[in-house]
Chain A
Amino acid sequence: MQLFGRKMPLRAQIGLAIVIINLLAAIFVPVIAPYPEAEVVGRAWAGSSAEHWFGLDNLGRDILSRLLYGARLSIGLSLLITTLSFSMGVFGGFAAAVLGKAADMVLSRIVDLLLSMPALIFAMVVLSVLGTDLIVLIVTISVLDATRIFRVARALAMDIEALDYVEVARLRGEGLWWIVRREILPNAVPPLVAEFGLRFCFTFLFISALSFLGLGIQPPNADWGSMVKDYSALIMLGVPAVFYPAGAIAALTIGINMLVDWLLSINTVRR
Chain B
Amino acid sequence: MTNAQTLLTIENLRIEAASQAGGKTVLVDNVSFSLRRGEVLGLIGESGAGKSTIGLSSMNYTRGGCAITGGRIVFDGENILELSEAGNRALRGVRIAYIAQSAAASFNPALTIGRQVCEVAVRHHLVGRAEAAAKAVELFKALELPDPEHFGERYPHQVSGGQLQRAMAAMAMIAEPDLLVFDEPTTALDVTTQVEVLSLFRKLIRERGTAALYITHDLAVVAQIADRILVLRHGKMVEMGAAQDILTAPKEDYTRRLVAEREAATADAFVSEGEGGREAVLTLDAVTASYAALPRVVDTVSLSMARGDTLAIVGESGSGKSTLARVIVGLLPRESGRLMFQGKELSPGLRERSREELRRIQMIYQMPDMALNPKHTLLEIIGRPVEFYLGKSKAEVRARVLELLRQIELPEHFIDRRPTELSGGQKQRVCIARALAAEPDLIICDEVTSALDPLVAEEILALLRRLQERLGLAYLFITHDLSTVRRVANTVAVMRKGKVVAYGKTAEVFSPPYHPYTELLLDSVPEMRPDWLDDVLAARKGRVEATR
Q: Which residues of A contact B (CB under 8 A)?
A: 163-165, 167-168, 170-174, 182-183, 186-187, 269-271
Asked whether A165 lies within 8 Å of B371 as measured between CB atoms, the reply is yes
Asked whether B371 lies within 8 Å of A164 as measured between CB atoms, the reply is yes
Asked whether A173 lies within 8 Å of B329 as measured between CB atoms, the reply is no
Is B385 part of the contact surface with A, judged by Cβ < 8 Å? Answer: yes
**What is the CA–CA distance of A60 and B376 in the complex, to the nearest angstrom?**
58
Asked whether B363 lies within 8 Å of A269 as measured between CB atoms, the reply is no
**What is the CA–CA distance of A163 and B350 in the complex, to the nearest angstrom?**
18
Closest Cβ neighbor of A265 among chain B residues: B20
Enumerate chain A residues within 8 angstroms of B375, measured Cβ to Cβ.
186-187
Among B330, B353, B365, B385, contact of A164 (Cβ-Cβ < 8 Å): B365
Enumerate chain B residues within 8 angstroms of A173, measured Cβ to Cβ.
350, 353, 355, 358, 388
Given A171-B331, A171-B363, A186-B373 contact (CB < 8 Å): yes
0/1 per residue, B169-210, Cβ < 8 Å to A?
Answer: 000000000000000000000000000000000000000000
**What is the CA–CA distance of A173 and B363 in the complex, to the nearest angstrom?**
13
Among A165, A167, A174, contact of B331 (Cβ-Cβ < 8 Å): A167
Q: Which residues of B contact A (CB under 8 A)?
A: 20, 329-331, 350, 353, 355, 358, 362-363, 365, 367, 369-376, 384-385, 388-389, 420, 434, 438
Asked whether B367 lies within 8 Å of A269 as measured between CB atoms, the reply is no
Asked whether A270 lies within 8 Å of B388 as measured between CB atoms, the reply is no
**What is the CA–CA distance of A183 and B374 in the complex, to the nearest angstrom?**
9
**What is the CA–CA distance of A234 and B350 in the complex, to the nearest angstrom?**
69
- Quick one: which of A172, A186, A187 has the most chain B CB within 10 A? A172
Given contacts A168-B371, A171-B330, A182-B376, 12 further A-B contacts (CB under 8 A): A164-B367, A165-B371, A168-B434, A170-B331, A172-B358, A172-B384, A172-B385, A174-B388, A182-B373, A187-B373, A269-B420, A270-B20
Asked whether A164 lies within 8 Å of B370 as measured between CB atoms, the reply is yes
**What is the CA–CA distance of A269 and B420 in the complex, to the nearest angstrom?**
7
Given A165-B372, A183-B373, A186-B375, A172-B388 contact (CB < 8 Å): yes
Enumerate chain A residues within 8 angstroms of B372, measured Cβ to Cβ.
165
**What is the CA–CA distance of A168 and B438 in the complex, to the nearest angstrom?**
12
CB of A264 to closest CB in B, whole Å: 13
Enumerate chain B residues within 8 angstroms of A269, measured Cβ to Cβ.
374, 420
Asked whether A270 lies within 8 Å of B373 as measured between CB atoms, the reply is no
Asked whether A187 lies within 8 Å of B374 as measured between CB atoms, the reply is yes
Report 15 cross-chain contacts, Cβ distance below 8 Å, ordered by A residue.
Answer: A164-B367, A165-B370, A170-B331, A171-B330, A171-B358, A172-B385, A172-B438, A173-B358, A173-B388, A174-B388, A183-B373, A186-B376, A187-B373, A187-B375, A270-B20
CB of A198 to closest CB in B, whole Å: 23
Asked whether A171 lies within 8 Å of B350 as measured between CB atoms, the reply is yes
Closest Cβ neighbor of B388 among chain A residues: A172
Enumerate chain A residues within 8 angstroms of B385, measured Cβ to Cβ.
172
**What is the CA–CA distance of A165 and B330 in the complex, to the nearest angstrom?**
16
Closest Cβ neighbor of B356 among chain A residues: A173
Closest Cβ neighbor of B19 among chain A residues: A270
**What is the CA–CA distance of A170 and B420 in the complex, to the nearest angstrom?**
22
Asked whether B329 lies within 8 Å of A163 as measured between CB atoms, the reply is no
Enumerate chain B residues within 8 angstroms of A174, measured Cβ to Cβ.
388
Closest Cβ neighbor of B355 among chain A residues: A173
Asked whether B329 lies within 8 Å of A171 as measured between CB atoms, the reply is yes
CB of B76 to closest CB in A, whole Å: 36
Enumerate chain B residues within 8 angstroms of A163, measured Cβ to Cβ.
370
CB of B266 to closest CB in A, whole Å: 30
CB of B439 to closest CB in A, whole Å: 13
Enumerate chain B residues within 8 angstroms of A172, measured Cβ to Cβ.
358, 384-385, 388-389, 438
Enumerate chain A residues within 8 angstroms of B420, measured Cβ to Cβ.
269-270
- Quick one: which of A168, A170, A174 has the most chain B CB within 10 A? A168
**What is the CA–CA distance of A117 and B424 in the complex, to the nearest angstrom?**
49
